[in-house]
Structure 1
Amino acid sequence: MEPVRTCVGCRLRASRSELLRVVAQDSEVVIDDRATMPGRGAWLHPSPECFTLAIQRKAFGRSLRIANLSTADLQNRLNGKWTTDERLEMRPVND
């Protein structure tokens, strides 16, 4: 049986494989693709709708227990403004 987590945006429970784990790193919310980064994590559906709900509810700061977090990179990735390079690392698309 796969572990079940709760999305910080919509508050619906889903399997771990359906959600993205995010962590706070240097006052910025970053995606933990492998779910192995140290520290407190939060789970989010990979959709702009759940991201918007999480921002409105101030869920990232509360669940990660850090105030004044930047979510710009996470928002760009969820809105499709990221690409994968040949080393399989995520990087922003130059506009």
Structure 2
Amino acid sequence: MRPKKVPMRKCVGCQEMFPKKTLIRVVRTPEGNVIVDPTGKANGRGAYLCGRSECFAQARKKKALERALSVAIPDEVYQELEEKWVGKTDA
């Protein structure tokens, strides 16, 4: 029996590949809203962050999330990411 394939995604901050389950997903919904998606199943265009604080700072400085989602990211989303998610994952 073959081992199950683990889906990999690239972090927009550091450009490294990680297993999808370990990353933080940020989604631009079909309505144009930007939300943090802890389930990884929300409809819309997604971009991933690995959760390291230096990677988050680099992604914010270079506007990597804005480029990946083709929309301006509100400050509330960055604050939510920083308070709840960044630095809390094992990536």
TM-score, normalized by length of structure 1? 0.69
Question: Structure 1 residue 44 and structure 2 residue 44: aligned?
Answer: no
Provide, for residues 3-59 of structure 1, a one-character-per-residue CA deviation record: whole Å limited to 9, x for no partner: 010000111111111111111357664210111111100000122221111111111
Distance in 2 (alpha carbons) for counterparts of 1:19 and 1:3 = 11
Give 1:80 deviation, angstroms: 4.8
Q: Report the counterpart of residue 32 of structure 1 in structure 2.
A: 37
Q: Report the counterpart of residue 75 of structure 1 in structure 2.
A: 79
Give 1:77 deviation, angstroms: 4.1
Stretch deviating more after TM superposition (10-19 or 68-77): 68-77
Q: Report the counterpart of residue 59 of structure 1 in structure 2.
A: 64
Give 1:76 deviation, angstroms: 4.0
Q: CA RMSD in A?
A: 2.3
Distance in 2 (alpha carbons) for counterparts of 1:4 and 1:71 = 28
Report the CA distance shift for 1:71/1:4 in structure 2 as closer, same or farther (over 3 A): farther
The structure richer in strand per residue is 1
Q: Report the counterpart of residue 17 of structure 1 in structure 2.
A: 21
Question: Structure 1 residue 5 and structure 2 residue 48: aligned?
Answer: no
Cα contact 2:26–2:35 (8 A) shared by 1: yes
2:74 alignment partner AA: S
The structure richer in helix per residue is 2
Q: Which runs of 5+ in 1 are unaligned?
A: 82-95
Q: Percent identity?
A: 32
Structure 2 SS opposite 1:61:
helix
1:72 alignment partner AA: E
1:47 alignment partner AA: R
